[in-house]
Structure 1
Amino acid sequence: MTKRILDGVKILDLTRFFSGPQCTLFLAGLGAEVIKIDDPDVGDPTAFSPPFAGPHGVSFERRSRQDMGIAYLKRARSKKSTTLNLKSAEGRALFMRMVRRADVVVENFSAGVADRLGLGYDVLREVNPSLVYCSLTGYGSTGPARNLKAYDLMVQAAVGLMSITGQPDAGPTKAGSPLSDAIAGLFAAFGIVAALNYRQRTGQGQSVDVSMADCLLSLILDEPLDCYRELGLSFQQGNRIMRFSPFNAYQSADGWVTLGTASNDDWRTLLDVMGRSELKDDPDIMSIAWRLSNNAAVDQIVSAWTLSLTTAEIEQRMRSARIPCSPVRTIDDVLAWEQIAARNMAVSLWNPLAEAKMNVKAASFPLRFGNAEVGYDTPAPVPGAHTEEVLREMAGVDAAEFEWLRERRII
């Protein structure tokens, strides 16, 4: 069988909700053995939280004992599920036995919580000096905001994304999906893989400090936002970017399309396609600087043309001219798009309690390698399904100890 990128890497996953589980989902897709550890009384908060998917479809109410949370079914794929009470001395001692055989620990507690539980990096590295320890928080483990509680909405607001999203002069708008969580999960996975590479070369483990705010800001500041005021630009550019014109979403006869030109050569080609070749003699229209300062006039020219054609007609003409263009697809359109089908990027979720596929889609692993298998081989498990298997292998727990642990609600 083809080896997987992270074959043999054991990860203890203490994360909750989205950012942390997104990180470990990516690592599982690369072949790591990800072991979710949840409290035996509370469990994973998303496992039985709305919206649900079950034998009767999707709903906000749990309509059968087989209904499970959609978020859990997506984020727990290819992971093992164990229960362990880390607030008990016995649970922490058992966890330390597991840490000795682990490669990575990932947590997204609020800053300082892991240390208060006795599970911080300084403690764990005494048990396993080669351990890679990733801490994922809203604002990082240092700085005056480190103890603030954060959800995606607050992080998008805090680093300015909401102030630059939406149409000019509109109120603050967040991105349509929880970007700061998703991006931080990706950066955390990237940091862990980098730390594992470092360990392979040096033999040394280390900590990885991931801030949702830092990760989101690192992507936003590629744009020269601090120069917008001097350039006379609105911070909210809608569907535009400040370097190209035209570059926008335009209404067609039956929907919307996006198109844009990155150079005067592209603009000349677009003018020919639109039947407006005479404008190539206008020095203003042919000046990128003028177009950037007069986007409304440029958009009016393009819109007059797109409104006269269907989306499919526009897309066909743009493709022939090699001008970047895409219809604005709904999610239903995306799931029906042949490109997504060709790359098998949307798959049906399996509900382990219902023992059936749900009419709910999740994204497949997004990377492809030439000589390694990737992907989510197993569905989300029944919560706690792997407790005995994992503790037997990683902590040497025998049958008598299992009984003792169960009686005391440690597992």
Structure 2
Amino acid sequence: MTAKILDGVVVLDLTRFFSGPQGTLFLAGLGAEVIKIDDPKTGDPTAFAPPFAGPRGVSFSRQTDEDMGIAYLKRARGKKSATLNLKSMEGREIFLRMVKHADVVVDNFSAGVADRLGVGYAALKEANPRIVYCSLTGYGSTGPDRHLKAYDLMVQAAVGLMSITGQPGSAPTKAGSPVSDAIAGVFAALGIVSALLHRDRTGEGQSIDVSMADCLFSLIFDEPLDCYPRLGLQPQQGNRIMRFSPFNAYRTRDGWITIGAATNDDWLALLEVMDRTDLKNDAHMMSVGWRLANNAKVDEVVARWAQGYTTEDIEARLAHAKLACSPVRDIHDVLRWEQMADRQMAVPLWNPLSRSNVAASGAGFPIKFTGSPAGYDQPAPLPGQHSDEVLTRLAGLDATQIEALRSARVV
């Protein structure tokens, strides 16, 4: 069987919650041996946190001893699990021995915590000069606000996303999912793969500093938000992109559909579909600049037309005219969508305690390669399932030593 792209790469994963586990999940999908290392006292905080999934379905409280956290079942796929107390001297020494046989270390501690634990980049580099170290934080490891505590809500607020989300005049609104966490995980995986390529070329490891705020801002600031006041635009544009008109979600006879005209040719084609070719003689309506400045009038034309047809009918008409459109699907519609099924983008989740699939799904691997397989070949592990194997192979411990450390709650 063809090897995965990152086969043979060993990743020591100290991350928790979402941003870090998302990044290491992608590395696991690319074939890296990702070893989750959790505190033996607390374990992974998502492993037994609501919402749960188990033999009796999903719930906010554990209905059986076999119930596990859905977030853990999603984010720990393809990974191994070991426990080690990094706050103890023995645990720290064992970890640094493991680093000698590893390629990557990832954490999402608050800024400065890794150094205080003695597992920051300086210590790791001394143990293994070729190590690639990635730190994910809310605001980065430098700057006056580096020590501020941050969750996705705070980051979306901090970099301006909440101020531009929603309909004009509405209260600040975050995106519907924790996008700053997810995006930071993607950037972390990209940074790690890039650093591994650099190491292959030069023999040198390095440290990577990933900020949730930086990552999110880099994506939203392609839009000229700082120019909006001079263009007479409000910060909140609803579903619009200020460069296109029409570009919105429109109510149909039985639901909603999104329609966008990015070029004048698109607008001409849409007029044909709507049987409004009379507007081709309207100098205002045929001017992109006028339509952008008077978008409400354009929306009124499209909205009046859309209300007379079903979503399916409009989708068929616009697809035939090669115009961009999509029905507004809820998550249940998405999971039934043949395109997602064909791409294997929703896959069953396995609960290792109940030894069965649960009534929840996880996302499939989003990148498709022609020459290499990619995906999550193994489900989430039992917490600590691989401790003995990992400590024997990477730290050189024998069974007697591991049992003594387990008794001392170091592992």
What's the TM-score, normalizing by structure 1? 1.00
Q: Work out whether residues 21 and 75 of structure 2, in 8 Å CA contact, stay in contact via their aligned partners in 1.
A: yes
CA distances 1:79-102 after superposition (whole Å, capped 9, x unpaired): 000011111000011101100000
2:228 is matched with 228
2:62 is matched with 62
1:26 & 1:266 partners in 2: Cα distance?
A: 37
Task: State the secondary structure of the residue aligned to 2:114.
Answer: helix
1:216 & 1:260 partners in 2: Cα distance?
A: 24
Task: State the secondary structure of the residue aligned to 2:73.
Answer: helix
- 1:63 is displaced (CA, Å) by 1.1
Asked if residue 336 in structure 1 is aligned to residue 327 in structure 2, the reply is no
- 1:163 is displaced (CA, Å) by 0.2
2:328 & 2:410 partners in 1: Cα distance?
A: 51
1:87 & 1:273 partners in 2: Cα distance?
A: 67
- 1:71 is displaced (CA, Å) by 0.3
1:264 & 1:14 partners in 2: Cα distance?
A: 51
2:283 is matched with 283
CA distances 1:248-306 after superposition (whole Å, capped 9, x unpaired): 00000000000110111111111111011011000000000110111111001001110
- 1:113 is displaced (CA, Å) by 0.4
1:266 & 1:201 partners in 2: Cα distance?
A: 47
Task: State the secondary structure of the residue aligned to 1:210.
Answer: strand
**Which range is displaced more, 391-400 or 311-320?**
391-400
Asked if residue 354 in structure 1 is aligned to residue 354 in structure 2, the reply is yes
1:317 is matched with 317
- 1:65 is displaced (CA, Å) by 0.5
**Which range is displaced more, 174-183 or 394-403?**
394-403
1:85 is matched with 85
1:75 is matched with 75
1:28 is matched with 28
Task: State the secondary structure of the residue aligned to 1:219.
Answer: helix
1:143 & 1:406 partners in 2: Cα distance?
A: 40
Task: State the secondary structure of the residue aligned to 1:383.
Answer: coil
- 1:402 is displaced (CA, Å) by 1.3
Counterpart amino acid of residue 114 in structure 1: A
1:240 is matched with 240
- 1:362 is displaced (CA, Å) by 0.7
Task: State the secondary structure of the residue aligned to 1:358.
Answer: strand
Asked if residue 254 in structure 1 is aligned to residue 264 in structure 2, the reply is no
Task: State the secondary structure of the residue aligned to 2:8.
Answer: coil
1:16 is matched with 16
1:39 & 1:355 partners in 2: Cα distance?
A: 24
- 1:390 is displaced (CA, Å) by 0.7
1:399 is matched with 399
2:278 & 2:403 partners in 1: Cα distance?
A: 85
Task: State the secondary structure of the residue aligned to 1:325.
Answer: strand
2:42 is matched with 42
1:363 is matched with 363
Task: State the secondary structure of the residue aligned to 1:353.
Answer: coil
- 1:203 is displaced (CA, Å) by 0.1
Counterpart amino acid of residue 276 in structure 2: R
Counterpart amino acid of residue 140 in structure 1: G
Q: Work out whether residues 99 and 124 of structure 2, in 8 Å CA contact, stay in contact via their aligned partners in 1.
A: yes
| Structure 2, gaps ≥5 residues long | none
CA distances 1:321-368 after superposition (whole Å, capped 9, x unpaired): 001000000100000000001011101100000100011011001001
2:32 & 2:316 partners in 1: Cα distance?
A: 43
- 1:160-179 map, 5 Å: 160-179=160-179
Asked if residue 101 in structure 1 is aligned to residue 101 in structure 2, the reply is yes
Counterpart amino acid of residue 258 in structure 1: T
Question: What RMSD in Å do the two structures reach over aligned CA positions?
Answer: 0.5
Pairs aligned (count): 411
| Structure 1, gaps ≥5 residues long | none
Task: State the secondary structure of the residue aligned to 2:372.
Answer: coil
- 1:246 is displaced (CA, Å) by 0.4
Counterpart amino acid of residue 392 in structure 2: R
Q: Which runs of 4+ in 1 moved over 6 A?
A: none
- 1:29 is displaced (CA, Å) by 0.2
1:393 & 1:373 partners in 2: Cα distance?
A: 26
Task: State the secondary structure of the residue aligned to 2:45.
Answer: coil
1:312 & 1:392 partners in 2: Cα distance?
A: 59
- 1:400 is displaced (CA, Å) by 1.5
Counterpart amino acid of residue 127 in structure 1: A
1:266 is matched with 266
